[in-house]
């Protein structure tokens, strides 16, 4: 074993960063044995240097992150500060000064991963980011390496624990959205401002990363269709149960049937109770991968939290350190296919549409005519009504999303349709 330690600089020492530092200290001997050399925490960049950080030598603390990554003796920079800047500048500076980078920064990777990859390649360094998607679940490395010889056609999953906790509580207890959100906040699953989670921004960033890796093409955050879950109601869950379904906020990345394009989207969807994702409870994550040779694979586990995320970070640190000892680098960006990213309107899917209609003869015929005029085939219809008012629930066969959206707009114009109570896609067949 080499005696000279590999030096690690830590950018950020919050929930995840502090756990990374703790594990590096408490498991130092094991990490050294696995790597083939000791690893040493050489510096920790923070914004608030006066905060007490147990187990970390105060002499390692600095507020000058740029000076830390420029030192030249740093082997690996671990970036867990998040956001776009100064994270992007610090990562590229680390590459320029001979350090590889391990990051958990999903937002930056989704928005400008190409810049990071190019800088890493230019300077002969590694960029690893297992912790950026699905916490402790091994997912990025299997997609980048284990399935590199296969063709992936679809990646669909629950990649945000906060939203899954909320939807699970709505399903299992009958709670409304706000009540379930309040419980998630009280238990620490939801932030004081849950917008990034419940409006799908967090999941969209992860979808962009997954799509880029799975389909070997560049997919940016702006390419991902995003729809939040704040409008999901207890009535939607009641309708889902009548269909033998539940509701999940899904990130879905697909290759077109002709292989000529890809799509990436995040939105609530009904999925059959028989689908493996339907049984994912509480704040857990799960990702379902469909590959031509390997078939269907599911990755499941805790998707967030200090310890689970730190586990993924340290796994990357071990891999990068091994590469440095062997004077090698791991896989870089694979974007050779350069496939276009199609719009949501071109996605072929199913719809569950609940309408409030007048309870009189001919309403169903009018509604069916609108669907036919837009080329959308109806799978099932359920109608209930009394006292002049009725509800009509229509489940469609698969059709382009644009056709379904056009159908809904036409339905709103019918005199006999009082309103569209809910619209939800149906996935996971």
- The catalytic site residues sit at 206
CA torsion, points 148, 129, 202, 179, in degrees to nearest 10?
A: 110
Q: Could you tell me if 345 and 401 are in contact, meaning their C-beta atoms sit under 8 angstroms apart?
A: yes
CB 270 within 8 A of CB 245: yes
Sign of the four-CA dihedral 144, 152, 221, 188: negative
Distance CA 329, CA 320 (A): 8
User: How far apart are the C-alpha atoms of 140 and 428, rounded to whole Å?
Assistant: 22
CB of 349 within 8 A of CB of 401?
Answer: yes
CA distance 270 to 248: 7
Evaluate the CA torsion angle 277, 279, 283, 285 in order and state its sign: negative
Give the contacts of 85 (CB within 8 A, at least 6 positions apart).
none
Six token digits for residue 53: 């950080």
How far lies 64's CA from each of 51, 69, 81, 264, 372, in Å? Answer: 16, 9, 13, 38, 64
Q: How far is Cα 294 from Cα 150, in angstroms, rounded to an integer?
A: 7
């Amino acid at each position: 074993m080499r005696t000279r330690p590999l030096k690690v600089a830590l950018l950020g020492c919050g929930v995840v960063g502090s756990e990374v530092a703790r594990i590096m200290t408490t498991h130092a001997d094991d990490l050294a044995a696995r790597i083939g050399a000791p690893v040493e925490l050489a510096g920790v960049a923070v914004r608030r240097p006066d905060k007490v950080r147990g187990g970390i030598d105060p002499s390692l603390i600095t507020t000058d992150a740029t000076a830390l990554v420029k030192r030249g003796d740093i082997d690996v920079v671990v970036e867990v500060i998040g956001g776009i800047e100064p994270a992007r500048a610090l990562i590229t500076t680390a590459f320029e000064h001979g350090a590889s980078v391990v990051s958990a920064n999903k937002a930056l990777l989704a928005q400008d991963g190409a810049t990071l990859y190019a800088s890493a390649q230019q300077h002969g360094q590694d960029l690893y980011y297992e912790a950026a998607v699905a916490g402790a679940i091994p997912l990025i490395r299997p997609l980048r390496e284990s399935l590199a010889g296969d063709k992936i056609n679809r990646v669909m999953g629950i990649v945000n624990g906060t939203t899954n906790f909320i939807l699970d509580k709505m399903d299992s207890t009958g709670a409304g959205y706000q009540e379930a959100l309040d419980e998630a906040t009280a238990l620490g699953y939801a932030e004081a401002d849950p917008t990034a989670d419940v409006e799908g921004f967090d999941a969209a960033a992860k979808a962009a990363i997954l799509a880029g890796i799975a389909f070997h093409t560049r997919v940016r955050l702006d390419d991902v269709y995003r729809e939040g879950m704040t409008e999901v109601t207890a009535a939607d869950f009641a309708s889902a149960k009548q269909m033998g379904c539940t509701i999940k906020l899904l990130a879905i990345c697909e290759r077109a049937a002709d292989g000529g394009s890809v799509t990436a989207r995040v939105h609530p969807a009904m999925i059959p109770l028989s689908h493996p994702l339907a049984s994912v409870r509480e704040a857990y994550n799960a990702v379902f991968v469909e590959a031509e040779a390997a078939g269907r694979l599911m990755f499941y586990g805790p998707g967030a939290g200090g310890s689970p995320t730190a586990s993924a970070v340290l796994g990357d640190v071990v891999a990068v350190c091994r590469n440095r000892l062997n004077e090698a680098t791991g896989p870089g960006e694979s974007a050779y296919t350069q496939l276009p990213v199609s719009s949501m309107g071109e996605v072929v899917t199913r719809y569950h549409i609940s309408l409030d209609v007048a309870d009189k003869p001919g309403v169903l015929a009018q509604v069916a005519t609108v669907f036919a005029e837009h080329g959308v085939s109806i799978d099932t219809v359920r109608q209930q009504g009394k006292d002049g008012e009725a509800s009509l629930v229509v489940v469609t066969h698969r059709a382009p999303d644009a056709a379904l959206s056009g159908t809904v707009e036409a339905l709103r114009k019918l005199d006999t349709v009082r309103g569209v109570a809910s619209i939800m896609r149906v996935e996971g067949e």
